[in-house]
Structure 1
Amino acid sequence: MKSSVTKGLLWLLLSVPGILMLWSFTQGDALAMDMLHPSGEMSVRLMILAMLPGPLSEFFGLNRFFRGWIAIRRNLGVAAFGYALLHLIFYIFDMNSLAAMAEEFGIPGIWTGWLSLVLMLLPAVISFNYAMRKLGRTWKYIQRLVYPAFLIGLAHWILLDWAWQPALIHLAPLIFAWILRFIGRSRRHRKQRSMT
């Protein structure tokens, strides 16, 4: 019971920014184009939050804090996909025409967004316990699609804005975490070699 209440509160918290975006749009306080940035950024930020606990816990050790973070990372990943879909919905409203969307598809800043969304789709669809048990080790390989999805998503951002600084700021925590993971693995490898 406690677990389901906690999960419900987590999903309520994750959905609040999206609800506020939709409210602003439906009330006419913001145009669809105004919602493209916040919905896209929210998706990227949630992807980062989902990817950080693995490398950080590997370096600092699997304590209670990281166990809790790892326990919710699938929720964070699915929420990231949800905000990517919301981003797409705002894009559809902004373009207001399938022909206009098709015309833009060849632009690198656009097709990278579609590719990132497609790569996020399968990991999001199988992010539940039954799929994890059924797919076994394959489940982990499929979940790793989030890494190219994230990087291509950043490329989508940079190509549309022609400003690399905001994307790099978002990437920085992951770079730091991956460096720590590399340092931790190198230390363990050296320790194992010295013991043999």
Structure 2
Amino acid sequence: MNGFPSKALLWLLLSVPGILMIWSFSQGEALAMDMLHPSGEMSVRLMILAMLPGPLSEFFGLNRFFRGWIAIRRNLGVAAFGYAMLHLVFYIFDMNSLAAMVEEFGIPGIWTGWLSLVLMLLPAVISFNYAMRKLGRNWKRVQRLVYPALIIGLAHWILLDWAWQPAIVHLAPLIIAWILRYTGRRRRRHMQRSMT
């Protein structure tokens, strides 16, 4: 995914749901509150898509499919942050008052959303090649902030909806991928021990 046309096409595809959300809201077809769930859900989905190729490729092997997926995972992560920001914009329009936003900040379902957004901010800001070269190993440490961001983001979802099932369904592929990576590592360690 190095060529400009292919990267432009990727970003076009990633932006289509957001464009449709903004269009529906701007045309009066949907209220800001109606756009909160789809924008937040899209952010979560893209975060999970960005996290999946690492553990899956470690378990199944780094083939052409996983190389392609890994090549775009930074794009997926940045797009996830973009949808989180769109979620915030819809929230601001829905509340329509800074005082009202401050007043409900202490609600667990609200401050968890803010915390998740803050944790996503730094990895998104440094998600380009120059920052990767400049930061070296520290770049990966910063990028790992997406893990607590995802978990807290899912808590935000559950606390607002009072329904844990949709959030768990979204998280399930990542849990399976982590289990596969763990079992793969255990198997390799066992094989190494048996060979010594």
Q: TM-score, normalised by structure 1?
A: 0.99
Partners of 1:186 and 1:110 lie apart in 2 by: 39
Aligned to 1:80: 80
Amino acid at match of 2:169: I
Q: Does 1:179 align with 2:179?
A: yes
- Partner SS state of residue 30, structure 1: coil
How many residue pairs match? The answer is 196
Partners of 1:2 and 1:62 lie apart in 2 by: 18
CA shift, 1:82, in A, is 0.1
Once the two structures are superposed, the pairs formed by residues 8-87 of structure 1 within 5 Å of their partners are: 8-87=8-87
Residues 128-184 of structure 1: per-residue CA shift (max 9 Å, x gap): 000000000000000000000000000000000000000010010011000000011
CA shift, 1:2, in A, is 6.8
Amino acid at match of 1:50: A
**Moved beyond 6 Å, runs of 4+:** none
Partners of 1:10 and 1:17 lie apart in 2 by: 13
Q: TM-score, normalised by structure 2?
A: 0.99
Cα root mean square deviation, aligned: 1.0
Once the two structures are superposed, the pairs formed by residues 1-196 of structure 1 within 5 Å of their partners are: 3-196=3-196
Residues 1-40 of structure 1: per-residue CA shift (max 9 Å, x gap): 9711110000000000000000000000000000000000
- Partner SS state of residue 57, structure 1: helix
Partners of 1:195 and 1:12 lie apart in 2 by: 50
Partners of 1:2 and 1:163 lie apart in 2 by: 41
Partners of 1:70 and 1:99 lie apart in 2 by: 43
Amino acid at match of 2:18: G
CA shift, 1:194, in A, is 1.4
Q: What 5-or-longer segments of structure 1 have no aligned partner? A: none
Q: What 5-or-longer segments of structure 2 have no aligned partner? A: none
Residues 45-78 of structure 1: per-residue CA shift (max 9 Å, x gap): 0000000000000000000000000000000000
Partners of 2:163 and 2:19 lie apart in 1 by: 28
Amino acid at match of 1:79: A
Residues 115-134 of structure 1: per-residue CA shift (max 9 Å, x gap): 00000000000000000000
